Amino acid sequence: MKPNTMTALAKTRAEEGLWMIEAPVPEIGPDDVLIKINKTGICGTDIHIWNWDDWAAATVPIPMITGHEFAGEIVELGRDVTDLKIGQRCSGEGHLTGTESRQSRAGKFHLDPGTRGIGVNVQGAFAQYLRLPAFNVIPLPDDIPDEIGAILDPLGNAVHTALKYDLLGEDVLITGAGPIGIMAAAVARHAGARNVVITDINAERLELAQHVEPTVRTVNVIQEKLADVVTALGLKQGFDVGLEMSGNQSALDQMIEHLVMGGKIALLGIPPGKSPVDWSRIVFKAITIKGIYGREMFETWYKMIAMLQNGLDVSRINTHEFSARDFKLGFETMKSGQSGKVVLDWGDVK
């Protein structure tokens, strides 16, 4: 039986922190489903909202139930939903898109300029129940557990970035060993890259990268020169493809420096404000650059689930799991910079 109220983790005041609140269980529309949340992942976005930085203060209306990375189970179907069933385990795309824009009408929903995000602009998933359009639901096969279902959103960022270019037989440089960079290394390997090198300045993160994807070559750029690694690997000119995951200016500089003529870069990392770029270097090296946002709806989801069923293993990126009641511990762990993905379990909440 569906209760009238639920426990949720929300931004209720314009200051640092998130608070457990009692909120009404969402009413669903004819095209929505109601999802009972089992597990959620904490994202960098949630940390921005916790910290209430300039971006969050300018973007997120209050009160807002945060969170957009989740796995759960459908407990109620809207009147017009015919292709889903009660009891179906699922995750879902947290970007809510319209149908009117040119991009949406061309089937490129992820490029709809009117996109709103759950947990950012619309009530989110850090709660016992979530309302989601049936269109956004991704059913989870039995062999994908909830703790992986809860991180498909960031894995989708990694997959979207890594699959932007054909990686079969290519040498790939990833700058930034956060959870998405690390998962991208595993995806790049799965997609057939020859050498996968990942750089960072955080030793713990590089260790985690090695733990998640043992074949990756980690480089702490404080201790080791990327140029030496290029030589040691026997790469004549450098890397064919770069996946920029850090938003760090010197990481991008190093990437451009060590890319082959005609190399390609996919940019997912977000620099803080404007940053200087050596454009003439990019022109003379004939480099292609592509910005990556979100996940392709829904091709990325399809590919990612197929790869998970075909041996892609990112399970070790989940380094911590807490009861959602211990969310403060979860956020502290995330903020320490010494964790992979942190999962909150909603199963035993109230």
CA distance 9 to 203: 32
Main-chain dihedrals φ then ψ at residue 270, nearest 5 degrees = -110, 115
Q: Tell me the pairing of strands 195-200 and 171-175.
A: parallel
DSSP helix/strand/coil, 186: helix
The yes-or-no answer on residue 161 being catalytic is no
Tokens of 332: 């502290």
Exposure string over 280-297, b if 16+ CB within 10 A, otherwise e? eebeebebeeeebebbbb
**Which residue of the set 45, 161, 199, 333 is catalytic?**
45
Q: What is the DSSP letter of 127?
A: B
Closest approach, Cβ 318 to Zn ion, in A, equals 14
Count the residues of the shown chain that bind Zn ion, applying the rule CB under 5 A. Answer: 3
Within residues 95-154, the interface with Zn ion by CB under 5 A covers: 153-154
Query: Least separation, in Å, of the C-beta of 67 and Zn ion?
Result: 9
Q: Nearer Cβ to Zn ion, position 43 or 187?
A: 43
CB of 227 to Zn ion, least distance (A): 34
Q: Does 212 bind Zn ion (CB under 5 A)?
A: no
| Coil, strand or helix at 324 | helix
Smallest distance from Zn ion to CB 68, Å: 6
320 has catalytic annotation: no
Concatenate the DSSP letters of all residues of 221-285 into one string: TTTS-HHHHHHHTT-SS-EEEEEE-S--HHHHHHHHHTEEEEEEEEE----SS-----HHHHHHT
- Identify residues 145-164 at the interface with Zn ion (CB under 5 A): 153-154
Nearest to 213 by CA among 232, 234, 197: 197
Give 156 or 263: the residue with its C-beta nearer to Zn ion. Answer: 156
Closest chain position to Zn ion (CB) = 43
Catalytic residue among 7, 48, 97, 218, which? Answer: 48
Among 10, 18, 35, 43, binds Zn ion (CB under 5 A): 43
Nearest-approach distance from CB 266 to Zn ion, in angstroms: 18
In this structure, the number of other CB atoms found within 10 A of the CB of residue 232 comes to: 10
Minimum separation from the CB atom of position 153 to Zn ion (A):
5
Distance of alpha carbon 190 from alpha carbon 167, whole angstroms = 9
Q: Which residues bind Zn ion (CB under 5 A)?
A: 43, 153-154
Active site residues: 45, 48
